[in-house]
Amino acid sequence: MPVIERPPLPPGPFLVLGLARSGVAAARALTDRGQRVVATDARTVSDEVRAALLAMGAEVRDGEAGADLLDDIATVVKSPGVPREAPLVATALIQGVEVIGELELGWRLLENEFIALTGSNGKTTTVELIGHIHRTAGLPVTVAGNVGTALTSLPGTLDPDAVVVCEASSFQLEDTFAFAPDAAVLLNLAEDHLDRHGTFENYRAAKLAVFAHQPPGALAVVPAGLALDDAGGAATRITFGDGAGPDLAHRDGTLYWRGERLLAAAEIRLRGPHNRENAMAAAGVCLARGLDPAAVREALRTFTGVAHRLEEIATVGGVAFVNDSKATNVASAEVAIRSFERGVHLIAGGSEKGSDFAPLAEPVKARCEGVYLIGETAPRLHAALTSTGVPIDDAQNLERAFAHAVAAAGPGDVVLLSPACASYDQYRSYEERGEHFRDLVAQLT
């Protein structure tokens, strides 16, 4: 399909705000193009990051937050972790300085066909599955964005025919203004990140920005059951879901593409009905773009998933250990629990995001034998789950929760780490939390 033309870069000089992975990549992309860059972060950066920034010609002013950082600056490039309410961002907007995100900057610098995917749950699994489908079809592809590889690190490194598959978070999308992917996918929408966005309406609006500027000829892949008439943009709608109506439909245990049988749902390698929906979204965007149905079928049969997403670590003494540390919100943990029929020993809890934990009560009551709570949200989780009658253990930390779950579990049971919360109270990332769980399992074998 033809690639949507990108607008030019905004004017420089640039202030790059936030010097984690995406901020450093954005600074490099700009200095490589001869732009003057001032790089700043509220915290002092490491010696390694400082040396890299200085070597590329950026002016490093870490640990500063004053308005004088904006002197002579025409555009601020904001890392996704920096909220728009941050004082320096607010001052820039008042002064008429353009503020864009690293996602928009990277998209403008690339000339490749571009697929953007967002949603509350399943993003990483699904972008990796789309990449797997392309590789199975023998097509060049690069997976980037919120999944790990900063988008602005890609310009100048790709095969011109490579497709970029980009995971886009609400934090990234809220800083887009012309962003118009050739194909955009929305997996689902559930309450998340209210600590950042304030209301579900604001969060929803950030997600739907993925469609807002798509022109005719682009593709917008959406769940059939989600009312998105106001999503914006002019792209062709492709739907996925249950019943006879969607383009990619599931009915009677079989997936169909526009009425033609694709494969039996049981052939999909990934566990759980939520992963069936992820697979349908991935297949839908690939088939709508003309990929070979045989390659799509083969990829759905062979894709085993990614780390920290319902990752089956081991079975020890008949007990399965499953790492779902990426379940950083309630909806994600709910579908994880429902992926098992019974005998679940759930480890949950973490840092506070203002979520409502009440929706966990029904699946916990139906599927769990015990719940082991960790982190700062443990008291609220305990209150939300007390009515289930399932034993609740306020274990405080993962090591103690794991030990108690192992002691209680028997053959045929599952010890499931699916926290329903972010990790920042006790870990630097959900990956670190998941690796700790892996290490604890390894000690049993």
In the chain, domain spans: 14-100, 110-302, 311-442
pLDDT computed for residue 165 by the predictor = 97
pLDDT computed for residue 314 by the predictor = 94
* Mean pLDDT, residues 354-362 taken together: 95
Backbone φ and ψ of 416, nearest 5°: -115, 115
The CATH superfamily of 311-442 is Mur ligase, C-terminal domain (3.90.190.20)
pLDDT computed for residue 192 by the predictor = 63
pLDDT computed for residue 171 by the predictor = 87
Which fold does the domain 110-302 belong to in CATH?
Answer: UDP-N-acetylmuramoyl-L-alanine:D-glutamate ligase (3.40.1190)
Backbone φ and ψ of 236, nearest 5°: -70, 130
* Mean pLDDT, residues 413-426 taken together: 97
121 is in an annotated binding site: yes
Report whether pLDDT(233) > 90: no
Lowest pLDDT segment from 142-151, 195-204, 401-410: 195-204
The CATH superfamily of 14-100 is NAD(P)-binding Rossmann-like Domain (3.40.50.720)
* Mean pLDDT, residues 39-52 taken together: 94
120 is in an annotated binding site: yes
**Tokens 């002197």, residue located:** 71
Q: Give 94's contacts (C-beta < 8 A, 6+ positions apart).
A: none
For residues 250 and 140, give the distance between their C-alpha atoms in angstroms, rounded to a whole number. 29
For residues 14 and 57, give the distance between their C-alpha atoms in angstroms, rounded to a whole number. 13
More confident residue, 230 or 292: 292
- Maximum Cα–Cα distance across the chain: 66
Q: What share of the chain in percent tops pLDDT 90?
A: 80
- Cα 106 to chain centroid distance, Å, stands at 17
* Mean pLDDT, residues 242-255 taken together: 95
Amino acid at 332: S
For residues 253 and 263, give the distance between their C-alpha atoms in angstroms, rounded to a whole number. 9
Query: In sequence order, what are the beta bridge partners of 220?
Result: 184, 237
For residues 63 and 270, give the distance between their C-alpha atoms in angstroms, rounded to a whole number. 45
* Mean pLDDT, residues 396-414 taken together: 98
What tens digit of pLDDT does each residue of 78-104 get? 988 888 888 999 999 999 999 999 999
What tens digit of pLDDT does each residue of 272-305 get? 888 999 999 999 999 999 999 999 999 999 998 8
Q: How far apart are the first and last CA of the chain?
A: 50
* Mean pLDDT, residues 149-163 taken together: 94
325 is in an annotated binding site: no
- Say if CB 67 and CB 49 are below 8 A apart: no
Report whether pLDDT(54) > 70: yes
153 is in an annotated binding site: no
Q: Give 294's contacts (C-beta < 8 A, 6+ positions apart).
A: none
* Mean pLDDT, residues 14-24 taken together: 94
pLDDT band at 191 (very low <50, low <70, confident <90, very high): low
Threshold 0.85, pTM exceeds: no
For residues 248 and 318, give the distance between their C-alpha atoms in angstroms, rounded to a whole number. 37
124 is in an annotated binding site: yes
Backbone φ and ψ of 320, nearest 5°: -85, 140
57 is in an annotated binding site: no
> What single string gives the DSSP state of each residue in 134-202?
HHHTT--EEEEETTSS-GGG-TTSS-TTPEEEEE--HHHHTT-SS---SEEEE-------HHHHSSHHH
* Mean pLDDT, residues 261-281 taken together: 93
Count Cβ atoms below 10 Å from residue 387 Cβ, excluding itself.
11
pLDDT computed for residue 198 by the predictor = 65
305 is in an annotated binding site: no
pLDDT computed for residue 76 by the predictor = 97
Here the tokens at position 191 are 């309450």
3-state helix, strand, coil in the chain (%, to 5): 35, 20, 45
Here the tokens at position 234 are 């002019």
* Mean pLDDT, residues 123-147 taken together: 93
Report whether pLDDT(445) > 90: no
For residues 22 and 8, give the distance between their C-alpha atoms in angstroms, rounded to a whole number. 20
> What single string gives the DSSP state of each residue in 226-238?
S--TTS-S-PEEE
